Amino acid sequence: MICFRFSFIFFWLSIISVSVYAQLSNLGTWNILNFKYIYSDKVSFFGETQLRSLQFYNSYHYYEYKGGFNFKPGNAYQFSLGLGSYQTYREGGNFLKPKNNDEFRLWPQLFLFQTLFGLKIEQRYRMEMRWTSAGYRNRFRYRLGASYPFSLGNQKAKNVQLILSNEVFFTDKEPYFERNRFQFGLSYKLTNATTIQLGYLHQFDYRINDEIGRNFFVIGYFIELFNKEAKKSSSESVFKEN
């Protein structure tokens, strides 16, 4: 079974890698490592780091690390609070200085969950308080996502999910609209504690100093640990903290 799982992962990695090289010469990469500790049915803690490049594993220009906690009083909604460091470098090479942006961010957010026609629907509302190289800024984000879980092979548990999401970013200053982020992919549960996610992400930025109309190959590795008394809820997010 373990050999089959790793063969499955290698197959998808190979197919996606060849495809993106052939069709999108300027495809960037979006790499995610996420850790979550579920303390109880209502409380959990998370940490995440990301590394991004503007070419396929070259021209690295961005990294971030962040952490926080979630409070879930019911299966239909969840509150979170997070903070982190977000570093953006200039284009044209690997971590070129001077930086475009050196940022610290604090963000509360609300998740709403529901199931419709076999799809898991998720809405996320986030407010970001940002201390940037250009001064303090506010930003507001709304993400709508859907996932379809199913089982692979003879597995009884639904260990695979197709995922699709779109997110819009706004500010409280003109021109107000700042960014749109569209993503789709596949999430595969390797073990009870680990999940791998592969996908494609398109990001369009309007008048900000980050990527401007970029495409990314996304690969994420997610680790979940549980307190013995905690049980994982079916309403947990599959999109994590992007």
d(CA 102, CA 93): 18
* The pLDDT of residue 155: 67
Residue 3 has pLDDT above 90, yes or no: no
d(CA 225, CA 132): 33
* The pLDDT of residue 151: 84
Instruction: Using pLDDT thresholds of 50, 70 and 90, give the confidence band for residue 25.
Output: low
Q: Of the ranges 20-29, 145-154, 178-187, which one carries the lowest mean pLDDT score?
A: 20-29
Look at residue 231 and tell me if it is in a domain. no
Residue 215 has pLDDT above 70, yes or no: yes
> Distance of CA 118 to CAs 162, 167, 235, Å?
12, 22, 13
Look at residue 139 and tell me if it is in a domain. yes
Mean pLDDT (the chain) is 87
CB burial string 104-138: b at 16+ within 10 A, e below: ebebebebebeeeeeebebebebebebebeeeebe
Residue 234 has pLDDT above 50, yes or no: no
Residue 4 has pLDDT above 50, yes or no: no
Instruction: Using pLDDT thresholds of 50, 70 and 90, give the confidence band for residue 242.
Output: low
Instruction: Using pLDDT thresholds of 50, 70 and 90, give the confidence band for residue 152.
Output: confident
Look at residue 194 and tell me if it is in a domain. yes
Number of domains in the chain: 1
Residues 183-210, mean pLDDT to the nearest whole number: 89
Look at residue 45 and tell me if it is in a domain. yes
Look at residue 238 and tell me if it is in a domain. no
Residue 109 has pLDDT above 50, yes or no: yes
Domain housing 16: 2-226
Residues 69-96, mean pLDDT to the nearest whole number: 95
Residues 193-200, mean pLDDT to the nearest whole number: 96
* The pLDDT of residue 14: 58
More confident residue, 223 or 17: 223
Output the domain CATH number for residue 163.
Answer: 2.40.160
- Each residue's pLDDT tens digit, 39-60: 999 999 999 999 999 999 999 9
Look at residue 212 and tell me if it is in a domain. yes
Look at residue 242 and tell me if it is in a domain. no
Look at residue 240 and tell me if it is in a domain. no
**Pairing of β 135-150 and β 160-170:** antiparallel
* The pLDDT of residue 37: 96
The pTM for the full model equals 0.84
Residue 210 has pLDDT above 60, yes or no: no
d(CA 237, CA 214): 25
More confident residue, 74 or 129: 129
